[in-house]
């Protein structure tokens, strides 16, 4: 159950980061565009770390 609580927000953050990058491209110009695009990618990296954590195999029990 804990894995789901980590995985779902992780995928939502990946999606949210993409939307931030798209919004930066479509709505902003020059410096702000680049900063928001990098911020969007940062949000995606956070989401990816959540998803990765949710897929770690649990301690205990030989796999």
Task: Rule CB under 8 A: say whether 57 interacts with other proteins.
Answer: yes
User: Which is nearest to 33 in space by CA: 44, 22, 47?
Assistant: 22
What DSSP character marks residue 21? H
Q: What part of residues 30-49 is at the interface with other proteins (CB under 8 A)?
A: 33-34, 37-38, 40-41, 44, 48
User: Which is nearest to 45 in space by CA: 22, 18, 8?
Assistant: 18
Instruction: Please give the radius of gyration of the chain, using alpha carbons only, rounded to the nearest integer.
Output: 15
Task: Rule CB under 8 A: say whether 21 interacts with other proteins.
Answer: yes
Give residues in contact with other proteins (CB under 8 A). 11, 14-19, 21-22, 24-27, 33-34, 37-38, 40-41, 44, 48, 52, 55-57, 59-63
């Amino acid at each position: 159950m804990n894995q789901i609580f980590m995985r779902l927000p992780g995928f939502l953050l990946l999606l949210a980061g993409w939307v931030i990058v798209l919004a930066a491209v479509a709505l902003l110009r020059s410096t702000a565009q680049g900063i928001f695009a990098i911020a969007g990618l940062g949000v995606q990296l956070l989401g990816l770390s959540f998803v990765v954590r949710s897929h770690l195999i649990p301690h205990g029990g030989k796999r």
